[in-house]
Amino acid sequence: MKEEQTKKSTGSRRKSSSRSSKTGTSKSNTRSSSSRGRKPSSRSSSSKTKSTKSAAPKQEAKSEAKEETLSKEELRAELESSQRPYSEWTILSDAVLKGVLDRGYTDPTPVQAASIEHALTKRDLVVQAKTGTGKTAAFGIPLLEMVEMGRQGPQALILAPTRELAKQVADELEKLSTPKGVRILPIYGGISINEQTRRLEEGVEIAVGTPGRVLDHIRRGNLDPTLIRFVVLDEADEMLSMGFYMEVANILGACREREQLMLYSATMPPDIEGLIRQFLDGPLRIMVSGGDRKVEGIQHLVYFVNPSLPRPRNMLYIIEHVGPGQSIIFCNTRNDVALLSSYLIRQGKHAESISGDMDQRDREKVIQKLRDGKVQFLIATDVAARGIDISGLTHVFNYNFPTSLDLYFHRVGRTGRQGKEGQAISLLTGSDTFLVAQLKRIHKISPSIVTLPSPKEIVQHAAARHINGMFEEAMQHLVEPFLPLADAINGSERGRFITAYLLKLYHEGHWQQLQESLKNIDAPEQLEAQQPEAEVKEAPKAKEAPKAKEAPKAKEAPKAKETSADDAKESEEATAAEFVRVYLSVGSSEGYDAESLRDMVSGEADIDRATLGAVQMERHHSFIMIRDDVSGHVIELFQEKPVGDHRVTAEIAKKSSRSRSRRR
C-alpha cells in the first residue's frame, strides 16, 4: 500500500509540475485519470466537451477507483513518521511554511500529520475527526500550497454549515496565507451580497461559505463552479443534519471540473456515506478519532434536578458550586435560553444568549465578546451554537440533557481541548436516565453523580473563593508588619466588627463581584447581598435573616402537576385562603407546558416553586395558582419586562374568564 501511495504522490506532483510549465500535459492527465478515475484537469480545448458529459461516464470511471482505509497500524506508522516539527517538513513551499510557523504552529496535530501529505496528492479524502482537533489547518495548508496565484478562480471552495464556522475558517486561512498572498473570501448570508460579488469579480483564490449563499452566487452567475479545482466539506455531518443535503449535492454537481474533494466529519451517519458513494472517487479514509467517543480530557458530571427549586436556580447553584471559567450552557428550546439568560443576568452573571434568528452582526458581536473574555456564559440552543468554536472553554453545561448522544458529544467536544482539562456538566431529570445509561453501555462513559449543593454550601463555596482571592492578593504585598495587629484584632471581642469594616474598605472597589456571587442565595446563614452603610454600627444587621426566608406556609403548597379544569377548581377551592388564580397571556402555542410554565414564572420572578400551584394550559393563555403573598410581585414583574420574544400579561383571573375556560 505504501508503494501505491508513493506512486500516486509522485504522479500527482508530476501533474502539478506539468501544469505549471504547461508541458507534458498529456502524460500527466493520463496518470491522473487512470489512477483516480478523475477526468483530465487541464484546460484544453476539449474541456467544453467534458463539461457537458452526463453523470454516467463519471460513475463508470468512479467504479475503477478503489476506496482505501488506513488501518490502525498504518495510521500509527504515518503519525510516527509525520509527527515531526513543521520546521522539518520538506513537502511545503517556503511561503506556506512561513505562514504556518508565523501562526505559532510548531508540531502538527494528529489529524494534520495524518492527512496533509495525502491531501497534497490531490486524492479524495474522507477524514473522521472531532471538532477542535486542528481540521482547519489540515485541509487549509494543502489548499494554500496547491492554489496557483493569478489563475482565474476561485480555485478552492470550502463549504461550512454555519456563518460562524465559515468566518472562523476564512479568518484562520487569512492568517496562514499572509506570506504567499492567497486571497480568501467568506461567503455567507447576513452581510451584503453586493460586496461579495465585487470581491469575486476582483478575483480570489479560495472561497469559504455556507451552502445557501454559495448556491445563490452560482445561480446569479457570480461564481463559476467549473473553475473550482478543490472542494472541502467541513463539519459535513452538521451540514447535512441542518438539511443542506440538496444544496451540497447541487454545488458538487456543478463543480464538475474539480480535481479533489475532501470531506471532514466528526461522525459518519448514513446520509454522509450516501454522499461519499455519490460524489467521491476512491477516497482514502483516515479515522483519526477512531470512532472513540470517550472524549479524552473531559470529566463528565451529572446533577439531578431539585424539583422544589426553579430549574434556573438549580443551574445557578451548580455554577456557584463549580466556579467555572468561560462556558457554554446548552438549552433544548429558545424559551429556555431566554428564561435562563435573563435569570443569570439578574443574578449578576456575565451572560449572553444567541438564537438562530439573531441578526448576523449581533451574533458576531456576542461571539467576539466571548473571545475577548467579556462574557463568562454563552447560552444557546444546538442550532444557534453550530459552528461556534471558542478555544479555552473550561465547561460545557447541559441545562437540558440533549435528545441524542450525537448531540451530547457535539456539545461537550467544545471543552477539554489543546491538552487542557474540561468538564461536561448535565442537569438531569428522571426521563434523562435512559440516555445516560446508553452513554455508559455503548461508550463506556460513566458520569459522576454529584448532589446539588444546599444554599448553605453555596454560600460557603462563594466565601471560600473570596477568601482565597484575598489571600492571593495579600501575598503580593508586604503585610508582615501588620500581622501582630491582626492577631490582636482577632483576639478581641470587637474584632469581628473591625474585620467587617476592613472588608468593607477592601470591597469598595470589589463590592460588585462579592455582591454578584452571594446575592439571592436563600440559606439560613446567608449574608444578605446588600452594600453596607458607611457607619460601622450598621454591621450587625448582616446577621438578620433575609425576608425571603419568611415563608412558613411554603410546605402547605399543593403538589405542582398539570391538571384538568375540574382539578384546578378543586385545587383552588382547597387553597383559596392562600392562593390566587392568575391569568398569563402565554400558552401551549408558545411552546409551554405545565412544568416549563412553572419554571418560567419561578425563574423570572425568582420565587420558590412551592409558591406555585395547579396549572391550567390553554392554547394561547394559561392559568396558574400563585400564593397570595407573592402574586402581586409576579403580576408587577410581568408588566415591566418581556420574557424572551414574548411580552407576557399577568393579572388576577376573573371568574367569567374561568367559567368560559371550563365550558370550552
Residue 318 has pLDDT above 90, yes or no: yes
Rounded distance between C-alpha atoms, residue 480 and residue 146, angstroms: 65
Rounded distance between C-alpha atoms, residue 436 and residue 443, angstroms: 10
* pLDDT tier at 516, thresholds 50, 70, 90: low
Identify each DSSP E strand in 343-463 by its residue range: 351-353, 377-380, 395-398, 422-428, 448-450
pLDDT in tens, 467-497: 877 787 778 777 788 888 888 888 887 888 8
The predicted model gives 62-70 an average pLDDT of 63
Residues 147/205, Cβ–Cβ less than 8 Å: yes
- Calculate the alpha carbon distances from 584 to 454, 622, 626 in Å: 31, 5, 12
Sole residue written with cell 443551574: 315
Residue 430: CB atoms within 10 A of its CB come to: 9
Q: What pLDDT, on a 0 to 100 scale, did the predictor assign at position 566?
A: 43
Rounded distance between C-alpha atoms, residue 526 and residue 320, angstroms: 14
Residue 621 has pLDDT above 50, yes or no: yes
pLDDT in tens, 354-379: 987 787 888 888 988 888 888 999 99
Q: Give the pairing type, strands 377-380 and 579-584.
A: unpaired
What is the sign, positive or negative, of the torsion defined by CA atoms of 573, 577, 583, 586?
negative
Q: Give the pairing type, strands 650-652 and 395-398.
A: unpaired
pLDDT in tens, 443-466: 788 899 998 888 888 878 777 777
Cell of 352: 449572553
Rounded distance between C-alpha atoms, residue 625 and residue 583, angstroms: 9
Q: Is 15 exposed, middle or buried (0-12, 13-18, 19+ CB in 10 A)?
A: buried
At position 318, the amino acid (one-letter code) is I
482 or 434: which leads in pLDDT:
482
> Domains in the chain and their CATH numbers?
67-287 (3.40.50.300), 298-450 (3.40.50.300), 476-549 (no CATH), 556-663 (3.30.70.330)
Q: Give the pairing type, strands 377-380 and 184-187.
A: unpaired
211 or 31: which leads in pLDDT:
211
Q: What pLDDT, on a 0 to 100 scale, did the predictor assign at position 247?
A: 95
DSSP 541: G
Measure the N-to-C terminal CA separation of the chain; round to a whole number of Å. Answer: 74
Residue 499 has pLDDT above 60, yes or no: yes
State the average pLDDT for the chain.
76
Concatenate the DSSP letters of all residues of 184-205 into one string. Answer: EEEE-TTS-HHHHHHHHHH--S
Cell of 609: 416553586
Q: What pLDDT, on a 0 to 100 scale, did the predictor assign at position 540?
A: 36
pLDDT in tens, 642-653: 666 567 888 888
pLDDT in tens, 534-590: 333 333 333 343 443 343 443 444 443 444 444 444 444 434 447 889 988 888 777
pLDDT in tens, 387-433: 677 878 999 999 999 877 777 888 898 888 767 889 999 999 877 87
Residues 143/156, Cβ–Cβ less than 8 Å: yes
Q: What pLDDT, on a 0 to 100 scale, did the predictor assign at position 649?
A: 82
pLDDT in tens, 36-51: 334 333 333 333 333 3
* pLDDT tier at 293, thresholds 50, 70, 90: low
Q: What pLDDT, on a 0 to 100 scale, did the predictor assign at position 266?
A: 84
Rounded distance between C-alpha atoms, residue 220 and residue 210, angstroms: 16
For the entire predicted model, the pTM comes to 0.47
